[in-house]
Structure 1
Amino acid sequence: MWEGLFSATNALALLGWAALILLPRWPALMAAILYLGVGLLCIAYAVMFAGLMGGWFDPLRDAGLAAPDLANYSVAGLMDLFRSQGAVVLGWTHYLAFDLFVGIWIARDADAKGFSRIGQAPILLATFFAGPIGLLVWLAIRERRARAQGRWQ
């Protein structure tokens, strides 16, 4: 089950990223990436979260392990929490949804500030592969253009 969900969420995110980087940014396409891409990832996350936290899904924890202590908010506690396939897929889906959302914001912001699509591509790819690094690069680049346009938004 978890391998299938992992593959499905990855495929959905990859489709959204490919459309965002390679296709024209028609309003309907951008809405589809947001609502069908990010939205479906969020729905998948919510269902997995509820199922795992409610005990309705088998988290496939290693044999003999006690249930994770959700109150143990530490590195050790998080490592224990992610010792199940379900928790790893849940966490990965979280990354996929937020990184794609950030990619949409970067693309829209870059379009509004007049950045070429070719110039946006490396930033979007950096966001796809290493979310916060791509976002950091975009924040550094956009600042100058925003100030030159007389607005900071």
Structure 2
Amino acid sequence: MTGFLFQLTFWLTVPFWALMVFAPTWPTTARVVASPLIAVPPLVVYTALVAGHLPELWATMSSPDLGTLREFLATSWGASALWAQVIAWDLLIGAWMYRESRRLGLRPLLMGPLLVFTIVLSPFGFALFLAIRARCDRPDRATTVVTDQ
């Protein structure tokens, strides 16, 4: 069952990634990706994986050390739970990148490959996007975020 949940985690997010990569200008994409609820499917899988292991999870996360984390990740449920958590956060990061790219007017031909890169290696994709965003964003952005003008 754990193997199935591991595989299921990613496939539950594919429709959202597909919208951002292949249909970025479709109005439905913007509406769907605006919701943080897109992360719920992998988080449901996460919950199913950890529900029977809350004491072990708590012990690992409340006093983290490398040995304990290594033991946690050596279990199929622990590795799968971490995978579900990573997939959920990657999707939220990707959705934020998508929304920011639309605000900045970045071309889909730039963002599509960058989002795919983020799916595979999110820290690098996110860092690259932050660099692009810093280069393309207006210097008075802080004022517009606060005042909406």
Task: Give me the TM-score of the superposition, normalised by structure 2.
Answer: 0.80
Alpha-carbon separation, structure 1, partners of 2:39 and 2:59: 29
Higher RCO, 1 vs 2 (CA within 8 Å, ≥6 residues apart): 2
Which runs of structure 1 show a deviation greater than 3 angstroms over 4 or more consecutive aligned residues? Answer: 24-37
Identical amino acids, percent of aligned pairs: 25
Structure-to-structure mapping, 1:19-98, within 5 angstroms? 19-33=19-33, 34=35, 37-53=38-54, 70=60, 73-98=64-89
Structure 2 vs 1, CA of residues 92 and 31 (structure 1 numbering), >3 Å: closer, same or farther?
farther
Unaligned runs of 5+ in 1: 56-66
* Paired position in structure 2 for 1:59: none
The C-alpha deviation readout for 1:23-45, integer Å capped at 9, x for no partner, is: 24445444545466411112222
Alpha-carbon separation, structure 2, partners of 1:90 and 1:81: 10
Alpha-carbon separation, structure 1, partners of 2:108 and 2:10: 24
CA contact (8 A) 1:38 1:100 kept: yes
Unaligned runs of 5+ in 2: none
| 1:49 to partner: Cα distance | 2.5
Aligned residue-pair number: 141
Structure-to-structure mapping, 1:7-26, within 5 angstroms? 7-26=7-26
Secondary structure at the aligned position of 1:73 is classed as: coil
CA contact (8 A) 2:20 2:112 kept: no
* Paired position in structure 2 for 1:109: 100
Alpha-carbon separation, structure 2, partners of 1:75 and 1:48: 21
Q: Which has the higher helix share?
A: 2
CA contact (8 A) 2:36 2:92 kept: no
